[in-house]
Chain A
Amino acid sequence: MTIKADKSQKGSKQAPAGKRGGNKKGDPCEFINPPNLLLAKVTHDPSLKHVRNLTESKFKPDTARLQKMTTLITENEKKCISALNKKINQIEPVYRDLQKGLLPDRAPFVAECKDIHGAAKALDHIPVIRITASLLRYLQANITDGARDPAVFAAHLDALFNRNALDVKLDAPTKLVLTALETLVDHAVATKT
């Protein structure tokens, strides 16, 4: 987008202090440079609070510390994978009950779904995150227990049990499955509330 320059303003004109392009049209723009308190704090040097941009970093990362951090991430990942698998296995009885037409108790099932959702978030497992988010949305919607449809739960649990067939990078079939589940909940919530 281009804007026409104002021809009436000839010769040089400085922008007001703290403002750039002060003569341009549009919203007035105020620039603020707060003191760099963090740099002053971590260096114990109050004079550095005026530094805006260190061209050369004074920070030399401790490789041993970085290694420890990386190990912690790897260990956490293993822990989360094991927790995710364990928690999904734990809801198998719910699935069997659903096939008999029995609905799960809401409060403990919500807690279990939140647990799975949390573990999936730590692993950045997008399909499981979206499945559990959709399931939680249905569970937490303002629908009476009697009006809940076991098929909606069963569809989500089916997808959870077959998570290994879903692509974490969301290929087209995975997107299709996830969108179908979300649409199912949208429709159920819209018609039952």
Chain B
Amino acid sequence: MSSTDYDLSVLTAMFVDDSPYMRKLIHDLLILMGLGKVITAADGEAALKLYKEQVPDLLITDASMKPMDGYELVRRIRMDADNPNPFVPIIMLSGHVEMANIEKARDQGVTEYLAKPVSAQSLMTRVISVIERPRQFVKVGPYFGPDRRRHTDDVFFGDDKRGSDGDQTVQNADDADTWAI
């Protein structure tokens, strides 16, 4: 292995989609990318069972499936107490690119969102991104998952040095940030 190369053959990925065509396509794409093993499942329920047995390094899932959809699958992976790895990077691959769906995915604990139709470059970029830039996790209230704020440069976490007179206000971090996904 050269210094500019990664040995992706040591990784196991899981792909969940109810379309057999998509399962075959993404399976073949990931194998072509160099991943060692790709497990596939047709819905969230089957995927959760397989996930707990095989503990893949990376999970890619569709959003709309029955009986358990991708959002519920992500929530269960992050929240289930008996889950062997709640920190697994999860990429949601979906054609539903409306903001409401993306926000829903983010709030369930998705790491990255990838819009269909998938391209070779975008799939590769997302996979490499979760390897090279893993997200910090946060537990706040009922939420557990990747930190939903990606850019924190404009948020001030230090001390306020402008004196103590008068009403001081601090910007709520949640309002100041751009959202992760």
Residue of B nearest to A12 (CB): B159
Q: Does the CB pair B132–A121 fall under 8 Å?
A: no
A7 and B164 CA atoms in complex are apart in Å by 7
Q: Mark A71-93, 1 if CB is under 8 A from B, else 0.
A: 01100110110010000000000
Number of interface residues of B (CB under 8 A): 63
CB distance from B30 to the nearest CB of A (A): 9
Q: Which of A5, A66, A69 has the most chain B CB atoms inside 10 A of its CB?
A: A69
CB contacts under 8 Å to A, within B5-20, are 5-8, 10-11, 17-20
A15 and B173 CA atoms in complex are apart in Å by 15
Q: Does the CB pair B131–A121 fall under 8 Å?
A: no
Contacts of B169 in A (CB 8 A): 2-5
Question: Of A39-47, A97-105, A151-159, which stretch is located at the interface?
Answer: A39-47
A5 and B169 CA atoms in complex are apart in Å by 6
Contacts of A126 in B (CB 8 A): 95
Q: Does A65 contact B (CB under 8 A)?
A: yes
Residue of A nearest to B137 (CB): A32
Contacts of B22 in A (CB 8 A): 118, 121-122
Q: Does the CB pair A60–B5 fall under 8 Å?
A: yes
Number of interface residues of A (CB under 8 A): 60
Chain A interface main SS type: mixed
Known pairs A59-B6, A65-B32 / 9 extra A-B pairs, C-beta < 8 Å: A3-B172, A4-B169, A15-B157, A29-B138, A33-B136, A57-B128, A70-B120, A121-B21, A126-B95
21 of the cross-chain contacts (CB-CB < 8 Å) are A3-B169, A5-B170, A7-B168, A10-B164, A11-B159, A21-B157, A29-B139, A32-B138, A36-B134, A37-B57, A39-B131, A41-B11, A42-B10, A43-B7, A53-B132, A66-B120, A69-B33, A69-B123, A117-B19, A122-B25, A124-B95
- With contacts A54-B132, A72-B28 taken as known, whether A122 is within 8 angstroms of B19 at the C-beta atoms is yes
Q: Mark A9-41, 1 if CB is under 8 A from B, else 0.
A: 011110100001100100111111110111101
Q: Does B112 contact A (CB under 8 A)?
A: no
Contacts of B87 in A (CB 8 A): 32, 34
A129 and B171 CA atoms in complex are apart in Å by 43
CB distance from A107 to the nearest CB of B (A): 16
